[in-house]
Amino acid sequence: MSSIPSVIEPKKHYEILDGLRGVAAILVVAFHIFEAFSGGNRFVQIINHGYLAVDFFFLLSGFVVAYAYDDRWGKMTQWEFYKRRLIRLQPMVIMGMIIGALFYYFQASDILFPMIAGMEVWKVILTMLIGFTLLPVPPSMEIRGWGEMHPLNGPAWSLFFEYIANILYALIFRKFSNKVLSVFVLLFAGMVINYTVFGPKGDVIGGWSLNLEQMNVGFTRLLYPFFAGILLSRLGKLIHIKGAFWICSLMITVILALPRFGDESSLWMNGIYESVCIILLFPLIVSIGAGGEIKNPFSLKICKVLGDISYPIYITHYPLIYWYTAWVVDNKVSIQDGYLPGIGVLIASIVIAYLCLKLYDEPVRNWLQKRFQKRLKEA
């Protein structure tokens, strides 16, 4: 440890990528709001492919992690890397679980969540405490009825896989040459194609339950985009065009909003679409975003704000979605009658995210960085 330099200067941010993360996060919230009116039918869901934002997040994470750390392993230990990732991600994981617990009893539903009304408080508290660690709970500890590994805050499943990806990167994949990494990325792309095109559902929906089927979905969704992001960062093949942020934002919006392709008898059609999005279009968007420059102060400000709230809004919005969905289903609310409250949920999600960021996340991370994180200096 003593032979490792004690400081590393932070590298510059890719402002456009920060902004794109925020755009995708807001689309996720909108996707979940509309999902309340779908009746569980993925063929009629509005903003139909909103769940692909998670796969886009994994790609962004791989790209940013490789950019930030690939050339620093001679200046930091694995434990220093893990500390940095924990300090960045874990405070909001904890806040998301706290918000989930606070909203839990307001989400009671005779149709969707009949377990809630009679659930003992100590079980909710225990689930929250386990959630603080991001360890998944088994079906035997279910307190909601949806089979989620994090029943107080469903989207935390993707952070669980994000941590796994970071561990795999630190232990193994950072040591691979680009050629070896390319072989693995091609194999992981094959997994995506096999599951989406030839699999039983024609999509990548899933990954949030602690069983073999859902864990397979989770790893299929994780491995290609995360390690393709690392390879993309290493290759440095960036695309330089004007208006990159706005072009990429439009691309993401269209990709996530397009209706489902095919029907129950032609699942492969949607599978091809999602494979193309994950394997080709998302890396293209990241290449354009990373290669673009923002000279307009207004656009720069938008990217900064969107980037700042992107993670907080993703990890805190779902307790509101549980409540909203229960209200819609129990009261048979139509989309015409429910769109204004839905807009309110979107606004409330953004406000809660911003308050969590400024009053909790940033102060806590600043304190943790001063207390536990070495500042590594470029040699």
Instruction: Please report which residue ranges of the chain form alpha helices under DSSP H.
Output: 15-35, 52-69, 78-103, 121-133, 156-171, 178-198, 212-235, 244-257, 267-276, 282-291, 297-316, 318-330, 335-356, 362-372
Q: What is the pLDDT of residues 314-366, one digit of tens each?
A: 999 999 999 999 999 999 999 999 999 999 999 999 999 999 999 999 999 99
| Residue 379: pLDDT band with limits 50, 70, 90 | very low
What's the pLDDT band for 295 if we cut at 50, 70, 90? confident
* Tokens representing residue 129 in the block: 């405490």
Q: Is 10 inside a domain boundary?
A: no
Model confidence band, residue 8 (pLDDT cutoffs 50, 70, 90): low
Q: Domain total for the chain?
A: 1
- What is the distance of C-alpha 196 from the center of its chain? 19
CB 162 within 8 A of CB 58: yes
Q: Does residue 168 sit within a domain? A: yes
- Residues 7, 37: Cα–Cα separation, whole Å: 51
- With a cut of 50, say whether residue 2 has pLDDT above it: no
242's CB contacts (< 8 A; 6+ apart) are 292
List b or e across 340-356, with b for residues whose CB sees 16 or more CB atoms inside 10 angstroms.
ebbeebbeebbebbeeb
Which amino acid, residue 378?
A: E
Instruction: Please report whether residue 3 resides in a domain.
Output: no
Whether 226 contacts 62, CB under 8 Å = yes
Confidence at residue 375, expressed as pLDDT on a 0 to 100 scale:
57
In a domain, 377, yes or no: no
Provide mean pLDDT across the span 172-199. 97
Domain extent at residue 245: 15-372
Residue 318 and residue 100 in contact, taking contact as beta carbons nearer than 8 Å: yes
Q: How far apart are CA 48 and CA 257, in angstroms?
A: 6
Amino acid at 27: L
139-143, 269-273, 317-321: least confidently modelled range: 139-143
Report yes or no on 41 lying in a domain.
Answer: yes
- CA nearest neighbour of 185 among 273, 68, 272, 59: 59
Asked, for residue 325, whether it belongs to a domain, the answer is yes
Q: What is the DSSP letter of 109?
A: -
Q: Which pLDDT does position 6 carry in this prediction?
A: 43
- For residues 257 and 302, what is the distance between their CA atoms, to the nearest angstrom? 21
Residue 25 inside a domain? The answer is yes
* Inside any domain, residue 356: yes
Q: Please, are residues 378 and 9 in contact by the beta-carbon 8 Å criterion?
A: yes
Percent of the chain with pLDDT over 90: 91
Mean pLDDT of the chain: 94
